[in-house]
Amino acid sequence: MGRPRGAFDAITPVRVTAIASLTPLEELESDPFLVDSRSQHAMCARWAAEHGFVIAREILVGGLRFDHCALWDGVRPGVDVFVAPSTRVLARALSSVAEFTAECARRGVRVETVGRAEPSYDAQMKARVHRRLSMPTAGYDGR
């Protein structure tokens, strides 16, 4: 979706909150993209850059209630935008996509999905995600 005319101006920068799903590592084989929160956030950052926005906040959640303060703390109507890679990610991240989008509408906050194809994961990509998520305290940065 394009930016609504007059909804945002140069004086007030648009703040984007990227939503990624917190999905257990055990689901890596069956659904690697939902487990790979880094790729989800990167997809949101590309979307934001293409629209002339920057990511102000990244949220990693699983089954979060639509009215939880972690979502709404500091969110301003007409300034903030929530973005997720897809409705599928939102469905995993939030307890109810319908209630969340209704709350966004009520508060005057946009919610967008990137809508691009998810990456295909080969064994090597899955192994990198597994190492990154299983060894975070060892200083491994995922490369």
Tens digit of each residue's pLDDT (9 = 90 or more) over 102-125 = 999 999 999 999 989 999 999 999
pLDDT at res. 81: 96
- Domains of the chain, start order: 15-126 (3.40.50.1390)
Compute φ and ψ for 19, nearest 5 degrees: -105, 125
pLDDT at res. 141: 53
Q: In the predicted model, is pLDDT for residue 30 greater than 80?
A: yes
pLDDT in tens, 78-99: 889 999 999 999 999 999 999 9
For 111, the token pair is: 């919610």
pLDDT at res. 26: 93
pTM value is: 0.83
pLDDT in tens, 33-82: 999 999 999 999 999 999 999 899 999 999 999 999 999 998 998 889 99
Residues 96 and 87 sit within 8 Å (Cβ to Cβ): no
**Residue 28: is it exposed, middle or buried by C-beta count within 10 angstroms (0-12/13-18/19+)?**
buried
What distance in Å separates the CA atoms of residue 75 and residue 72, rounded to the nearest whole number? 5
